[in-house]
Structure 1
Amino acid sequence: MKFITLGPAGSNHEFVTLRYLDFHGLLDRATVTLAADFAQCADAVLNGSADFLIQCAVHPACTATMGRFFEGLFAIDTFISPSQDLAILQRNDAVQPRSLAVMRPTLDYIDARQWERIKLVGTVAEVTSGLLAGKYAAGLGYAAAAQSHPDILHVTQFIGTVDDAWIVYGRARVSGGKLLAWRDSPAGRLYGRAA
């Protein structure tokens, strides 16, 4: 089986895709390809060079990806998973940075008013690699980067992670036009206790 998701290597999409494959016992039977954007991912599934696509439901490209169902790309599964811990990271050689590099969907995790300028970047992985390379003085990136590179970065604000909804796409429509839900899901059990 061939899965595709958003890169670059080390991205939250790769991290969660590998968790999903591990959950299903597919790590040794599946490959994961990383793409530059979700249009490329969708095209790969539609042309058969990939079988499945995994996308975070809050990614800005999600509505465009979901719209591809007219071409034969269907949501076949959903799940909830935390991603990698996030933090506002600062380069050790930066003194009072005034701008913050951030991926748009993560901007709501912080109070952006403390920054004079916000630099929107395509992915959290790009923010993190840009910090390490000296492209940015401060950014909302992967907290683990400060642990891996304490000589370059430090955490100024730990944010953590949220439990995001994720969508798996494939070429076969599995819903049959009906609602697909798991009655004995954790939410279903909560509903049962509330009744």
Structure 2
Amino acid sequence: MPATNSSTSPAAGTVRFATLGPSGTNHELITRRYLASQGIDDFEIKLILSFKDAITMLLEDAVDYVMQCAVHPETPQTLGENFRSVFAIDCFISDSQELAVLSRRDVQRPESIGVLLPANEKYTDLSRWKQVVSYSSLPLINEALLVGEIDSGLVYRAYADKHPEVLRVDEVIGSPDDVWIVYGRKRAFKEKLIGFGDGAFLDDVRVRLTERAAARSRAAVHID
């Protein structure tokens, strides 16, 4: 599920990211926000449903970087299982879309709720529902809510505005300030502490694009 800012297939100058989908997630929003903050206009964002798939794409050179929220349930696995081949090269803090507990208008006393667990389990008192169902992303919770698979969902507040005939707002949670991690294949840490704005990410981008351009040049010469 590519979300691209380029009208053609990825060129030597295109920065390729993988992050959590489907379309409309905070991960996609923050990835776009991050790229804008770095002054990168030529990019491609590939949306995945599992960070295991994203890391595979990174290791196979299908993408250059992966964006992941630090509180996502797969983050310990992403860092722990791949620490010799995948490295955190940048991190930053950002708010995102406002969260809320939404319920179906045709359900007076909701008994089930969809939640991104364990990341969002403390945002509200889940003991109010008889059944708590775990999902891998908020758009998937919203889809389940709209078709009646669950009565309530801890999702983006904006969904109620998009579907006012179906959904009501039961509780406004707000937007937490989360830490976000950018992963690459080359280690950025070199003895001294690295902070946001130190340029580690852009340094890596320059190296990656230079290497890709050189590889394509060598391939063209070989074909000729």
Whether these two folds match at TM > 0.5 is yes
Secondary structure at 1:19's aligned position in 2?
Answer: helix
CA RMSD of aligned residues (A): 1.6
Q: Distance in 1 between matches of 2:145 and 2:131?
A: 16
Runs of 5+ consecutive residues of structure 1 not aligned to the other structure: 185-195
Amino acid at match of 1:136: I
Distance 2:197 2:89 in 1: 17
Q: Cα deviation per residue 1:44-97 (whole Å; 9 max; x = unaligned)?
A: 111100000000011111111112121x21100000011211100011111211
Distance 1:8 1:133 in 2: 17
The 2-side partners of 1:168 and 1:141 are apart by 24
Letter in 2 for 1:78: C
1:121 corresponds to which residue?
A: 135
- Show the counterpart of 1:174: 188
Partner of 2:94: 81
CA offset at residue 182 of structure 1? 5.7
The secondary structure found in structure 2 opposite 1:107 is coil
Match of 1:193? none
Query: In structure 2, what is the Cα distance between the partners aligned to 1:132 and 1:23?
Result: 35
| Deviation readout 1:103-138 (Å, 9 max, x if unpaired) | 111111001121122111221121112112222211
Q: Percent identity?
A: 41
What one-letter code is carried by the residue in structure 2 that aligns with 1:141? V
Tell me how many residue pairs correspond in the alignment.
182
Larger Rg computed on CA atoms = 2
Is the contact made by 2:92 and 2:196 (CA closer than 8 Å) also made in structure 1? Answer: no
Task: Give the gaps of 5 or more residues in structure 2.
Answer: 1-14, 199-224
After superposition, the C-alpha distances for 1:31-56 in whole angstroms (9 at most, x for unaligned) are 10001100111111111000000000
Q: TM-score, normalised by structure 1?
A: 0.88
Moved over 4 A (4+): none
What is the deviation of 1:161?
Answer: 1.0
Structure 1 residues 42 and 137: CA distance shift in structure 2, 3 A: same
Equivalent residues of 2:19, 2:66 under 8 A apart: yes
Residue pair 2:90, 2:196 contacting (<8 A) in 1 also: no
Distance apart, 1:183 and its partner CA: 9.6
Question: Which residue of 29, 37, 51 maps to 1:15?
Answer: 29
Alpha-carbon distance in structure 2 between the residues aligned to 1:116 and 1:129: 20
TM-aligned CA distance change 1:182 to 1:48, over 3 Å: closer
Is 1:63 aligned to residue 76 of structure 2? yes
**C-alpha separation in 2, matches of 1:56 and 1:126:** 17
Which residue identity does 1:6 align to in structure 2? L
